[in-house]
Amino acid sequence: MQPTHQPTDIHQRVLARDLASLPDGSPACIAGWVHRRRTLASVTFVVVRDRTGLTQVVVKDAETISRLSGIPEETTVEVTGTVSLNPAAPGGAELVEPTFTALTEPAVAPPVELWRPTFGAGLATHLDHAAVTLRHPRHRAAWEIASASLRGFRSALTALDFTEIATPKLVGGATESGANVFEVDYFGRPAYLAQSPQLYKQMLVGVFERVFEVGPVFRAEPHDTVRHLAQYTSLDAELGFIRDHRDVLVILRAALAGMVEAIESYAAEAASLLHVDLPRVPEEFPVIHFADALELVGADPAEPDLSPAHERALGEWALTTHGSDFLAVEGYPMAKRPFYTHPWAASSPMHPRQARLAEPGGDGFEGSNSFDLLFRGLELTTGGQRLHRPSDYRAALERAGQDPATLAGYLAAFEHGMPPHGGFAIGLERWVARLTGAKNVREVALFPRDLHRIMP
């Protein structure tokens, strides 16, 4: 069939969600993708998909039915017809006596039938054909949850006086860690893709006190894992004039509560489709000290980190003891934290474990004012208080064997006066994977990038 070229007038089109609110028998024009054609003996059903849902179109006219063979699934169409209110139809209304106008050429069949409730292919097929397979309702739903989360993160933080920032993704020198960075040919000189906005968000606390950024970060992760991407979306926040890391936890709680609320408000259908059991975010996160956490799970008290099994056990403990899906573990050993981490502060109520350390001959690790937030027994995000005194930075860089000259622009912020401050970062794709139960973070990213994949 020859597609006619009559682009839809957006002002006159009726969306799927609004069809049932029209009077029975009224004329209506819908537009979308042919989601499914189903031919029975005397009638053909054509389901049309738009951004708000599905509309069932009932075709009985023989000539129109024969024309449908030229409008395969995924072809975009405009359909004019008559509204028939019908409680048995999806959404309570269907379109009858239709006239179809294709808006493009007949679509090539997708690699997977997109109308089937489950996605009938593996991850590689999905990623190879993402431009089409992302249209599957389950993939679309995962991103709708991501998109709502971004909205909730921002609204929670702007309500708390945070200023949105946009920081350089091209950096000239040493970055946060130095390992796993992508090198860029920057007008003939080497530059690097930023692994996080960490240094810039701290500098901008000096300007705006409270800042957040939502943006891409880059890790040249050389391993093929189910939880790492070469590019992911980081939700970063940083704030000044805190007492210690506990104040950062207060803000993190507000951000996560905002994200959950936004999913409830703007992506409820998506969450329901993917059977997401949204967490209740408690008024205050339960907190356990790292040393107590080790003891609780029966680990060696000299362990510098928690294993995945330990984290799972702690998650169960938080649920049974505090009724919470979340648990903050504070006081992580400094040795496992980046150079800008603030040590366990003397002003904090001293933890028994830290007190023993402070005694003459005290062994074990030096604790930090940082935390991991576990969500259902898995690490969701890391945060904490940062150093803010210039002399502390000079000492920390010396300990780390790092040349202060490469960080001169960053260190200037501290020389010129910074408040006690801290922050956190949430990986968007990891958050959505946890919520939806996706085994691989690639399932919930749009066009993920990894060791092997740079296309499409």
Residues 151 to 180 in contact with its own copies, rule: CB under 8 A: 151, 154, 158, 161, 163-173
Sites for its own copies among residues 47-66 (CB under 8 A): 50-52
Q: Check the annotation: does 229 bind a ligand.
A: yes
How many residues line the site for its own copies (CB under 8 A)? 111
In the region spanning residues 399 to 428, those forming contacts with its own copies, defined by CB under 8 A, are 408-410, 412-420, 428
Inter-CA distances, 359 with 1, 35, 189, 190, Å = 86, 70, 51, 48
Q: From 166, 162, 161, 157, select the one nearest 262 (Cα to Cα).
A: 157
CA distance 364 to 301: 8
Please check if 434 is assigned to a binding site: no
Q: Is 302 helix (H, G, I), strand (E, B) or coil?
A: coil
Task: Answer yes or no: is 221 a known binding residue.
Answer: yes
Question: Residue 184 or residue 299: which is nearer to its own copies going by CB?
Answer: 184
Q: Distance between CA 343 and CA 387 in Å, rounded?
A: 8
Peptide bond into 456 cis (omega under 30): yes
Question: Is residue 13 near its own copies by the rule CB under 8 A?
Answer: yes
Residues 6 or more apart whose Cβ sits within 8 Å of residue 216: 169, 231, 232, 233, 234
Distance, C-alpha 21 to centroid of its chain: 34
For its own copies, which is the closer residue by CB, 58 or 171? 171
CB of 439 to its own copies, least distance (A): 21
Q: Is 429 annotated as a binding residue?
A: yes
Whether residue 196 contacts residue 425, with contact meaning beta carbons closer than 8 Å, is answered with yes
- 93 within 8 A of 85, measured Cβ to Cβ: yes
Count helices and strands in the chain by DSSP H and E runs? 13, 16
Minimum Å gap between C-beta 335 and its own copies is 23
Minimum distance from residue 176 beta carbon to its own copies (Å)? 14
Single out the residue of 126, 289, 310, 388 in contact with its own copies (rule: CB under 8 A).
Answer: 388
Helix (H, G, I), strand (E, B) or coil at 212: strand
- Cα Rg of the chain (Å, integer): 27
Minimal distance, residue 150 CB to its own copies, in Å = 6
Q: Which of residues 206-245 bind its own copies (CB under 8 A)?
A: 206-210, 215-216, 218, 220, 222, 230-231, 233, 239-244
Note whether 182 binds its own copies by CB under 8 A: yes
> Minimal distance in Å, beta carbon 144 to its own copies?
7
Q: Is 395 in the site for its own copies (CB under 8 A)?
A: no
Instruction: Choose, by CB under 8 A, the member of 346, 359, 360, 401 that binds its own copies.
Output: 346
Q: 382 among the known binding-site residues? A: yes
- Using the minimum distance from each CB to its own copies, give the nearer residue, 206 or 377: 206
Does 22 bind its own copies (CB under 8 A)? Our answer is no
Q: Cα(277)–Cα(290) distance, rounded to whole angstroms?
A: 28
The label of the residue with tokens 């990038």 reads 449
Q: Please list every residue from 86 through 145 that binds its own copies, using CB under 8 A.
A: 103-105, 107-108, 110, 129-132, 134-135, 139-140, 143-144
Closest by Cα among 415, 407, 403 to 173: 407
State in angstroms the smallest separation of the CB of 446 from its own copies.
6
Q: Does 396 bind its own copies (CB under 8 A)?
A: no
- Kind and range of the H or E element at 373? strand 370-375
CA distance to 147, 166, 203, 308, 317, per residue, from 413 (Å): 33, 18, 6, 37, 41
Residue 147 interacts with its own copies (CB under 8 A)? yes
Minimum gap (Å) between residue 4 Cβ and its own copies: 10
Note the Cα 276 to chain centre separation in Å. Answer: 14
Pairing verdict, β 76-85 and 93-102: antiparallel
Angle at 110 (CA atoms; ends 108, 111), nearest 5 degrees: 130
Residue 249 Cβ vs its own copies, minimum distance, rounded to whole Å: 12
For residue 38, the minimal CB distance to its own copies (Å) is 18
CB 285 within 8 A of CB 251: no
The piece of 205-213, 304-312, 333-341, 360-368 that touches its own copies (CB under 8 A) is 205-213
Interface residue with its own copies, options 88, 189, 363, 401 (CB under 8 A): 189
Q: Which is nearer to its own copies, 89 or 413 (CB)?
A: 413
308, with CB counted inside 10 A (0-12, 13-18, 19+), is exposed
Q: Could you say whether residue 80 binds its own copies (CB under 8 A)?
A: no
Nearest-approach distance from CB 433 to its own copies, in angstroms: 15
Annotated binding site for ATP: 219-221, 227-229, 379, 427-430
Annotated binding site for L-aspartate: 176, 219, 382, 386
